[in-house]
Structure 1
Amino acid sequence: MLIGLLRPLLVRYAIARPNARSAHTAPTPQGGGMAVVGTVVLAGWLGAAALGSEGPTALGFGPGSSFAVDVAGWWRMWTALGAAVLVGVVGAVDDIRPLPPLPRLALQIIAVGIAVSALPDGARVLPWIPLALERLLLVVGGAWFVNLTNFMDGMDWMTVAETVPVTAALSLFWFFGAVSAPAGILMLALLGAILGFAPFNKPVARLFLGDVGSLAIGLLVAYGLFDLASRGGLAAAVILPLYYIADSGLTLVWRLRRGDRVWEAHRHHFYQVAVARGFTVREVLARVAVTNVALACFAAASLWQGSAALSAVDIALSAGVVALLLRDLARGRPATEPR
């Protein structure tokens, strides 16, 4: 419904026109992320209302369960949502009139800092280092994750293929108590919003997320991963986004060695190379989606095995699966293989 209401404005003011770095060939409206963020805000409010006050009791969950949302939980959820809206507004402005890199990055760091402040009291992701240093690393890592999510949103349905398995896994982990209620509600709301957006972004896309969507999605997913890590699921939090981290990280290193302006758009990600070397968009997406489902299974295994040694094995196996995917994408389709 929101996409239907917003589409005339997006067609008029937010058209993405093809250029040398584009994967599309026709002018296409962008900014569909505004509908995604709006839906998450509404669904998050409804979910927290249902699980707050007498909600958990009415649904069969006691006030002390991982489903209950108390006053502090409301505050954390709305703080994280506010941070997502802030970074989304920065992205919306950048979609219409590109911002200089430094002010844009500064605003993103502020938004991530707000989201990190919404983690539960006493939550520790890296308990073996000082709290101030841990929070600094989370802000820097979160800002990086927000931007890599934006960089990876360069193909129809790519964000869908990544975000749906990750948010579905985090929502399931909430059900088993591995994620807090505020983060779990946001992940479930984001999962539904992405599924609602997916038909409009199906190849060949009729609508793009735009920076307003990719940046906000990156921040919300980062918040969910930080929450998972703070509750003893550090290995799972590393495993879930491993494909995005590997593809964007290796590409970034390669571009830095070439002396490229790494903040500018490009077509050197592994999934983009795969299309240039003969794979169809759907073939790439199928490989990415299957890999992400496998990563979600490894992340779940690391949570329920309850062993640091076995979690290390899960991380190693996940890295191997991602390495096989990247090798497949980098090679492309052999010249002798028919489409």
Structure 2
Amino acid sequence: MLFWLTYGLVLTLAGIVLTGFTLSWLKRRAILDAPNDRSNHETPTPRGGGLAIVGTVLAGWATVVALRPDLTTGLHPGILLAAILLCGLSWIDDLRGLGAGLRLPAHLAACIAGVWLLPGNGMVFQGLLPGWADFGLTVLIWAGFVNFYNFMDGIDGITSVETIGIGTGLIVVAALLPAETLPVAGPLTLVAAALGFLWWNRPPAQLFMGDVGSVPLGFLLGWFLLFLAVKGYWLPALLLPAYYLADAGITLLRRAARLEKVWQAHREHFYQRAVALRLTRGLSRAAAHGRISAAIGCVNAVLIAAAALSLSQPLAAICIGVAAVGGLLWWMTR
């Protein structure tokens, strides 16, 4: 326990420092996100802070491998390599803009490789589907989650808060399960990296994460959630990211029903509508972002409790999770 507490604190501080250096470098290079009609910011802001997040994750995983190789469950080098490659592709996307025809195949390829590396037989659906169907559906779910995570990164602090929530939930669930069922090092590393980034990304944000951060984060969190699901713990794996899944999923279905291009940027997510409503009521943009990200953090705390409860009382956990996420979505539209 002392090792993990020290590790998390030191890595968080390292993340704060590394993000500060990254911010200075982005400013010098004038790598800025200029406001447009879909933006939730008003002034050009450095974008690409996800480079610091990935750097912090790399430093953290290397530290665990060097100091405590006995605690490296889940830190598969193939997954880390795939995340680095996605980081590089997403950095090019942030700088130049890549079409969905390049991004999506890369996401699918990374997820295909990742599913091959899942522990045991890699059967997420526990034999309910034929092997080929289990494999294919798992790849699609994982790639969809990666893109959901990217789509949802639209206001100050939101994805840092979500990463901290999911990662903390994974740690809590791991503590309640038999030893080595679920890795702790990976989720704790992601939490520390997100905390370090949040220091600079809290409203009003001094820099943005960019695809270079949100895509690798979605990929790595997806890996650990699938790691949980493949062990048979589906419910906590669904409850922990439930808000992002609900907001992105409902919005996607609505746009698809209107035959819109669902991969294009828009301002129809629940959290985006919540910002617009609060701006009309006189809140500053920073205050609106802060309230919404804080509300998401509070609901994530409830989802963590529900995920823990699901290990013994699944029906009660489902009711709590649905009520929490439904209540948040309702509040965002009021």
TM-score, normalised by the number of residues in structure 2 = 0.87
Structure 1 position 8, deviation (Å): 3.9
Distance of aligned partners of 1:103 and 1:168 in 2 relative to their CA distance in 1, 3 Å threshold: same
One-letter amino acid of the counterpart of residue 307, structure 2: A
Other-structure match for 1:296 = 304
One-letter amino acid of the counterpart of residue 239, structure 2: I
Structure 1 position 183, deviation (Å): 4.0
Cα distance in 2 for residues equivalent to 1:197 and 1:269: 23
Say how many residue pairs are matched: 308
Distance of aligned partners of 1:42 and 1:149 in 2 relative to their CA distance in 1, 3 Å threshold: same
- Is residue 2:166 matched to residue 1:202? no
Other-structure match for 2:101 = 102
Cα distance in 1 for residues equivalent to 2:241 and 2:179: 16
Other-structure match for 2:35 = 18
Other-structure match for 1:190 = 190
Structure 1 position 258, deviation (Å): 2.5
Structure 1 position 324, deviation (Å): 1.2
Other-structure match for 2:9 = none
Cα distance in 1 for residues equivalent to 2:30 and 2:261: 27
Other-structure match for 1:92 = 91
Counterparts in 2 of 1:97-246, with a 5 A limit?
Answer: 97-127=96-126, 128-177=128-177, 180=180, 183-246=183-246
Distance of aligned partners of 1:32 and 1:181 in 2 relative to their CA distance in 1, 3 Å threshold: farther
Q: 2:66 aligns with which of 49, 59, 82?
A: 49
Other-structure match for 1:322 = 325
8 A Cα contact 1:178 1:233, kept in partner: no
8 A Cα contact 2:83 2:220, kept in partner: yes
Other-structure match for 1:272 = 272
One-letter amino acid of the counterpart of residue 88, structure 2: V
Structure 1 position 319, deviation (Å): 1.2
Higher deviation after alignment, 122-131 or 161-170: 122-131
8 A Cα contact 1:235 1:312, kept in partner: no
- Is residue 2:258 matched to residue 1:258? yes
One-letter amino acid of the counterpart of residue 158, structure 2: M
Cα distance in 1 for residues equivalent to 2:175 and 2:67: 15
Q: 2:289 aligns with which of 271, 274, 281?
A: 281
One-letter amino acid of the counterpart of residue 304, structure 2: A
Distance of aligned partners of 1:312 and 1:181 in 2 relative to their CA distance in 1, 3 Å threshold: closer
8 A Cα contact 2:115 2:122, kept in partner: no
Cα deviation, 1:97-137, whole Å, max 9, x if unaligned, reads 11111111001111122222221132432112122221211
Cα distance in 2 for residues equivalent to 1:286 and 1:318: 17
Cα distance in 2 for residues equivalent to 1:263 and 1:30: 20
Cα deviation, 1:235-287, whole Å, max 9, x if unaligned, reads 10011111101100111111122232211111111011111112622221222
8 A Cα contact 2:251 2:269, kept in partner: yes
Structure 1 position 155, deviation (Å): 0.4
Other-structure match for 1:33 = 50
Structure 1 position 173, deviation (Å): 2.7
8 A Cα contact 1:183 1:223, kept in partner: no
Cα distance in 2 for residues equivalent to 1:180 and 1:34: 30
Cα distance in 1 for residues equivalent to 2:205 and 2:222: 26
Other-structure match for 2:14 = none
Structure 1 position 45, deviation (Å): 1.8
Higher deviation after alignment, 289-298 or 110-119: 110-119
Q: 2:23 aligns with which of 7, 10, 20?
A: 7
Higher relative contact order (CA 8 A, sep 6+): 2
Distance of aligned partners of 1:13 and 1:261 in 2 relative to their CA distance in 1, 3 Å threshold: farther
Structure 1 position 6, deviation (Å): 2.8
Q: Which runs of 5+ in 1 are unaligned?
A: 57-67, 332-339
Cα distance in 1 for residues equivalent to 2:301 and 2:182: 24
8 A Cα contact 1:187 1:221, kept in partner: yes
Distance of aligned partners of 1:178 and 1:168 in 2 relative to their CA distance in 1, 3 Å threshold: farther
Other-structure match for 1:60 = none
One-letter amino acid of the counterpart of residue 317, structure 1: I
Structure 1 position 2, deviation (Å): 2.5
Q: Which runs of 5+ in 2 are unaligned?
A: 1-16, 280-287
One-letter amino acid of the counterpart of residue 7, structure 1: L
Cα distance in 1 for residues equivalent to 2:19 and 2:295: 28
TM-score, normalised by the number of residues in structure 1 = 0.86
Cα deviation, 1:165-216, whole Å, max 9, x if unaligned, reads 1101112333344685884211111110000101110111111110000000
